[in-house]
Structure 1
C-alpha cells in the first residue's frame, strides 16, 4: 500500500502545474501541504510549517509515508486548483515573490494566502487604501541607531515626523520620486526596508524596519498601490500590468569594491557600491544616507565601456577593472575574480541597452549634481513616456 501511494505521489508531482512550487515557482518540489493540496519547495515548506498544522500540514514526497486519504486530497486539488482558490483577487500592485526573493516577502505571501486569506477576502487588503499611518523604526542619519518615527502616506506623498506630536513633517517625499526595496541582509534586520529618493540633487537613503513582517510588507505594498493608482491616472490608456514594473526596483547588484581617485597615483579605497538601473553609486558604508559619488551608465555606442585591468600608468590591484565614460575612467577592483565577473557582467548588461526617455532625465540629474547645483530637483525614479 505504502509503495503504491508513494508511486502515485511521484506521478502527481510530474503533472502540469505541480512540477513547480505552488508559492515561489521553484522547480521540482519535494514537499507538500497535503491538507491544502499543494506541492512545495524546501524553503516554502519551512514557512508552511511555521503556519501551524491547523493551517498547513507538511509532508515529504519521498521520505514520509502516504495513506490513501492524503493521496486522494492531493489528486483532488493540486497546484492549479489551489491557486484558483487562494489567489482569486491578487491586486495588480502586489509583488508576487519568486525563489531567491527576500525571505520576509515570501513568508508574508504565504501567510497572506493561507493564514489570512487576503486574496479571497478583499477587505483584508489594507494596503490598497489611499492612506496609511504608523510607526516605523528609522535609522539615524549619522549613526547606526534606530528610533521610532511616525510615517504617513497621503496625497501621493510619504512623510515622516521627528516626534509623535510634531505638527510639521521632518521630510515629505513625493511617491513618484521614491524607490523602495527590501534590504534585510544589508540592514541585519529581517524586516528591513530601504527608501531612496532625490534630495537636493543627490540620492538620499532612509532605512526603516518593523518588528512585524506583516506590517513592513503592508507599507511596501501600500507604496506600490498608491504609485500604481497615480500612474493609472497619468496614463489612462495603459494597462495596469504594463505599469507594474515601474512601481519599485530592486538594486541590480551591490557590495564592496575598491576604487581609486581621479589621479593615477591615488590609492584604492574600499567603498560600498550599488547599481540601481543606470546609476552606479558608491558609499563609505552599506547604510550611508548619501553616496559619495554617482556615475551614470550610458549606452555602449556613446563611449561607455568596461574592461579588465587598469589604464597605463595607474597602480594595478587584484581583480581590477576599468569603467570608461566620456567624462572619466573609473578604476576599481573586486575582492575575488568571481565578484569582478559579476560586476562587469551587470554593468555591461546595462550599457548594452539603448537609452529610454527617462534615462536622459537621469543623466541630466547627475550632470546637474556634479555641477553642484544642489537646488535642482530631478527624479531618478521618473516614470517613462508610455
Structure 2
C-alpha cells in the first residue's frame, strides 16, 4: 500500500511540472489522467477519446487508479514535452490545433491524427500532401434551399485558382457556386447544423454574406476538408502578402466570431416593434497584414440574420463598429421593449444612428456588452476606414 501511495504522489508531482501541467492534446490546465502507453498527461475529456484508441493508448487516473513502478518510471522518462517532440514533430503550419473549448470532432480527429494515424511524426507525407494537393474533392451533405433537406453535393477545392466550387450532380460541368478564397471562412458549428460534424462555410456573394451548412458522417472526412481549406487559404495569403511571415498569416486563415446569438431589435426611429433576430460579431473583414498589431478576434462588422440555421442565410443589415474617439459607444439600456418579450437592453451609438437591442437574460446582455466594448477598444486600421466608408456608401 505504501508503494501505491508513493506512486500516486510521484505522478501528482510529475503532472505539476512545466509541460505536464496542461493537457497534451487540448491544453486544458491541471490534467488528472494519463496514457501509460504514450507517456502523456491528459484531461478528463481527452482521456475519453484515448479510450476509443485501445490499440495505441491506455489511460488511468493519476489519483484514483493503481500505478505499477514501471509505469510511473515510463511517465517520468517521457511526459508531454518528449511525446510532443515525436507525435507533433511535423505539424503543418496550416493544421488547426484544437483547444479545450473546441468541438468534439476537432479534438477527436486531432488525437487520432497524432497517435493513431501518426500524421506528424515524419514517417510519411501522405496526409500532408493530400491536404495541400492542387485539387481536393469531398462529397458532403448540404442543406437544400427549398425543402430544407440535406442533399449530397460535390465540393471541389482548387489550389490552382484559390476557389471552392460545389456541384449539384457528379456529372455537372457547371458549378452551382464558385467561392473565392479571399472571402471564404470555415468554422465548425455542430449546434447550428444539428450534427456533430457540421461545418459552416461563409463567403461574400455580391454585397451579402452567405452561409453554407454541410456535414459528413465521417469526422475524418470533415476535418480533412477543413484543414485542406486552411492549407489553400494559407497559400492564397502567402501569394497575396509575400513579405509577411506565416506567423502573421495563420491567425487569419479561419476566423471565429466574438459573440453570436439572438437579440430583439427595433427600427431606426425606435418606435417600431422589436423583432427577434440572430446577430454575429465576427472577424470577417480583418486584413492579415495588420494582425500582428491587433487583437486577432476583434472585428468591425456586426451582422444580423433571421436564423443561423436557414439555408444560405444572408445578413439583413450591418453596422460598422468603430472606436470611441470616432463617435462609437455601447451601454446598458433601461428602455421598455414596447411589446417585446425581453427587457435587458443594449444601446449601440454610432455617428449616424443609435441601435437598441434587447437580450433575454442579464448574462446575455453582459456578454454582448463585453464583446462590443472589446471591438470599440481596438484602434482603427486603414482597412477599417475603408470598410466603414464602403458600408456608409451601401457597398
TM-score (norm 2): 0.89
Distance 1:149 1:313 in 2: 43
Of 7, 16, 19, the residue aligned with 2:18 is 16
The 5 A counterparts of 1:200-279 are 200-276=206-282, 277-279=299-301
TM-fit CA distance, 1:301: 1.2
Cα distance in 1 between the residues matched to 2:229 and 2:149: 25
Cα offset, 1:142, TM superposition: 4.7
Shift of 1:122: 2.6
Determine the structure 1 residue equivalent to 2:35.
Answer: 33
Distance verdict in 2 for CA 1:365–1:161, change over 3 Å:
farther
2:315 is matched with 291
SS at match of 1:19: coil
TM-score, with normalisation over the residues of structure 1? 0.91
Q: 1:65–1:138: structure 2 CA closer, same or farther, 3 Å change rule? A: same
CA-CA distance at 1:363 after TM superposition? 2.5
- Greater shift, 233-242 or 113-122, is seen at 233-242
The answer (yes or no) to whether the contact 2:39–2:83 under 8 Å persists in 1 is yes
CA contact (8 A) 1:136 1:210 kept: yes
Q: Which moved more, 1:234-243 or 1:86-95?
A: 234-243
Task: Tell me if 1:115 matches 2:119.
Answer: no
Q: CA deviation at 1:212?
A: 1.1
- Whether 1:353 aligns to 2:378 is yes
> Residues 181-213 of structure 1, C-alpha deviation per residue, up to 9 Å, x if partnerless?
111122111111111111111111111111111
The alignment status of 1:130 with 2:134, answered yes or no, reads yes
Aligned CA RMSD, in angstroms, stands at: 1.8
Shift of 1:313: 11
d(CA) in 1 for partners of 2:172 and 2:325?
Answer: 52
Change in 2 beyond 3 A, CA 1:299/1:76: same
What SS class does the counterpart of residue 323 from structure 1 fall into? strand
Change (3 A) 1:59 1:122: same
> What residue number does 2:8 align with?
6
Q: Deviations over 1:307-359 (max 9, x none)?
A: 11157998895111111112211110111111101001101110111122322
Q: Note if contact 2:138-2:225 (Cα within 8 Å) is conserved in structure 1.
A: no
Could you tell me how far apart the structure 2 residues matched to 1:313 and 1:341 are? 18
**In structure 2, what is the Cα distance between the partners aligned to 1:139 and 1:360?**
36
Match of 2:362 among 302, 316, 337: 337
Match of 1:49 in 2: 51
Matched with 2:64 is 63
SS at match of 1:181: strand
Displacement of 1:236 after TM fit?
A: 2.2
Deviation at 1:65, TM superposition (A): 0.4
What is the match of residue 157 of structure 1? 163
Matched, 1:323 2:348: yes
- Check conservation: 1:159, 1:171, Cα contact below 8 A: yes
Name the CA shift for 1:195/1:360 in 2 (closer, same or farther; >3 Å). Answer: farther
Larger RCO (CA within 8 A; separation ≥ 6): 1
**Aligned with 1:111: secondary structure?**
helix
Residues 201, 365 of structure 1: 8 Å contact kept: no
Does the 8 Å CA contact 1:274/1:282 hold for their aligned counterparts? yes
- 1:312–1:271 Cα change, 3 Å: closer
SS at match of 1:242: helix
Q: Bigger CA drift: 213-222 or 309-318?
A: 309-318
Mapped to 1, the partners of 2:359 and 2:147 lie a distance apart of 27
C-alpha distance in structure 2 between counterparts of 1:135 and 1:7, whole Å:
51
Tell me, what secondary structure is at the counterpart of 2:277? strand
Q: What is the SS of the residue equivalent to 2:71?
A: helix
Question: What is the rounded CA distance, in whole Å, between the counterparts of 2:366 and 2:249 in structure 1?
Answer: 32
| Equivalence for 1:91 | 92
Corresponding residue of 1:282: 304
Which of 194, 210, 213 lines up with 1:188 in the alignment?
194
